[in-house]
Structure 1
């Protein structure tokens, strides 16, 4: 007995290997692809329902989940951009105000303390953002599995 739900995966894998790994000269891959293609021609059109009502129901569920993920990603990207822009504006304001105060120029120790405050502000914003990300783990890609080491990096998923 065979599991026909695996036919599209076998077909996709064979096609990928034929296109991108032809240099490996995998034995009998052409023959396997031809058989998988014949089977896929019958299975894939019915993969998301047999009649129009089933296809609409299944497609609606998939689209709703995808739209939810897209909306959450857009909101998170917007919040990250606002946070980064806010940090940049605070830094520019600090540099402008210190140029105006030439007569009362802050000491080097004072500037170092300001740098510490600024970096702690950055860390606080990152922690707040991490808290937001934890609330939406249902739709977010876990950076540990994606090997993402920088928190500001955006990862596109299919």
Structure 2
């Protein structure tokens, strides 16, 4: 399993000098490559909140604080619920507009976390290449901390 984050820059904001806080407002498309097929997983503006929310939920699962968490998308009525049970992660999408619930995917928890962390870290490093002052942004620092915590969980350090 692999993940890919694709950021769609806002045309007006993209003409301004790069700022981390502005970049976090752009629309993000998240794709999952599973069994050789790439599928769109989710799309949202204010993507930093989405990434931080997913990482926070995964950490809480590792810490046995929760077995289920929900992340709401911005500019839509979509909600994604992540449910952990017996080493499997089931992700369902709920459409608030028409009440439809669709199972997006089911996979091994460890596979999802590994794919997410790898892309989250790549994304995080790419921001620093564009703005050497990125660490002045509290959300950027929070992301770094989440990546480190998840990597430590994956390696069995904590």
Structure 2 length as normaliser, TM-score?
0.29
Structure 1 length as normaliser, TM-score?
0.29
Larger proportion of strand = 2
Larger proportion of helix = 1
**Rg bigger for which structure?**
1
